[in-house]
Each structure stands twice: as structure tokens, then as C-alpha cells.
Amino acid sequence: MEDKLFLNIASSTFLILVSVFLVTNLNKTSYKPAKATKSYADKNVIVRGLVAQNNRDCVTDSACFLRIIKEDKTINVVYKTANFVCKNPLALIQGAAVKNGEKVEVFGYQYSKDLISICESSEYYIQKQN
């Protein structure tokens, strides 16, 4: 019984340390748009705006997304879904690190005028702005 408790605590501590390390180092890295794959090139978009909401419900059965305000428009930026595999290994880390009220730059795939996703390619990103 004590062994299981110790393993659970050790595993949780390890995950927290790895998360802190990734988020800390992620903020020091500058992400620039890479050359996009041909299949997505016509739908690539860069958007800058203020984060009004960071919905982290992808842990259950929903999507994790940022609600960004740009001028008079609201744009949803999906960075993780519960039901689909995200091709971007940094998407969840980048999205979860953003707080309400922060300015961000997003490079992603535009599905509609108010919906962007960064899951379609590892080239896409969410980057905090000063």
C-alpha cells in the first residue's frame, strides 16, 4: 500500500517538474512560421489578438481552445481535442501556458473566419506577445 502511494507521488512530482521545465523553456523560444506543407498552404493564417478565454476542457470530451479578440472579431483557436490526434506535439503545452488577458500571435489552419486550429501541423504555433 505504501509502495503504491510512493509511486503515485513520485509520478505526479515528475510530471509537474517536466511540465514546468517545458513551459519555462517554451517561453524563451521564439517561434517563426516555417514553410507550410502544400496541402495547407492556402489556408495558413497568422492572427494577433488578446486572449479573452482559455478553455481547457479537452481533458474530458471537448476541445481546448483560446477565444481571441482581434479588433471587433472573436476567433476561436483550437489547440487540442479529446477525440482527434493532434499532429502538433507542442500545441497543448503552448495553449495551456496562455492566460486570459495576454496578447498572442497564432499561426494556424483557418477553417472559417472565426475558427483556427494549430493541430494540423507541427509548424503551427501559439506565441505570447509583449
Mean pLDDT of 88-97: 93
Q: Where residue 1 falls among pLDDT bands split at 50, 70, 90?
A: low
pLDDT at 38 over 70: no
Strand partners, 125: 107
- Predicted confidence (pLDDT) at residue 5 exceeds the cutoff of 60: no
What CATH number does the domain located at 33-128 have?
2.40.50.140
Residue spans per domain, the chain: 1-30, 33-128
Residues 125, 31 contacting (CB under 8 angstroms): yes
Distances in whole angstroms, Cα of residue 14 to Cα of each of 10, 21, 29, 90, 128? 6, 11, 23, 19, 26
Paired sense of beta strands 103-112 and 63-70, if any: unpaired
Helix (H) or strand (E) holding 116: strand 115-117
> Is the Cβ–Cβ distance between 33 and 107 less than 8 Å?
yes
pLDDT band at 129 (very low <50, low <70, confident <90, very high): very high
Per-residue confidence at 2, pLDDT binned at 50, 70, 90?
low
Mind listing the pLDDT tens digit for each residue in 7-29? Answer: 444 444 444 444 444 444 444 44
| pLDDT given for residue 3 in this prediction | 53
d(CA 49, CA 89): 23
pTM score, two decimals? 0.68
* pLDDT computed for residue 62 by the predictor: 80
